Amino acid sequence: MTRRTKKPVVRLTREGVQIVHELRARFEQKFGRAPGPGDPVFFAVEADVSGPIDQDRFDAVIIAAMEAAGVGAGIIHAYRRTGLLITEHNVTSCSRNDLQRWQAALEGYEEPILRPA
């Protein structure tokens, strides 16, 4: 008897589904084919072959998008510390350990002190 590994389920909002469709279209435009099972969802657009985007570059893009969207500095700090982005949409699918790490990172954030010039 083989043991089945339960794959995580990611529920997307309507906007999330639209983003995935746009990423697929960009992939098809770039590589002239539909993405296959081994192709990444996020890929380096300037690359000549399909491959995952560098993690540091991915993080920089995510952080820049969060900053542009006005996401609070504490949440950005928690993302940097944990690599997680926990929201009301995905909190129920997160492990207890991930939630504890996320909460600790949020609680560990200290607002910078601004001093007059």
- Cβ contacts of residue 12 below 8 Å, gap of 6+? 20
Share the mean pLDDT of the chain. 82
Per DSSP, 91 falls in state G
pTM over 0.85: no
pLDDT score of 43 more than 60: yes
- DSSP classification of residue 1: -
Does 92 have pLDDT greater than 80? Answer: yes
CA 73/CA 113 separation, integer angstroms: 13
What length does the chain have? 117
Please give the average per-residue pLDDT across 28-49, as a whole number: 80
Domain ranges of the chain: 12-53
Residue 109: per-residue pLDDT: 87
Q: Quick one: average pLDDT of 82-105?
A: 91
Q: Write out the two tokens for 110.
A: 């200290």
pLDDT score at 76? 93
What does the pLDDT look like over 47-71, one tens digit per residue? 776 776 778 888 888 899 889 888 8
Q: Give pLDDT tens digits for 11-22.
A: 667 777 888 888
Q: Are 73 and 111 in contact (CB under 8 A)?
A: yes
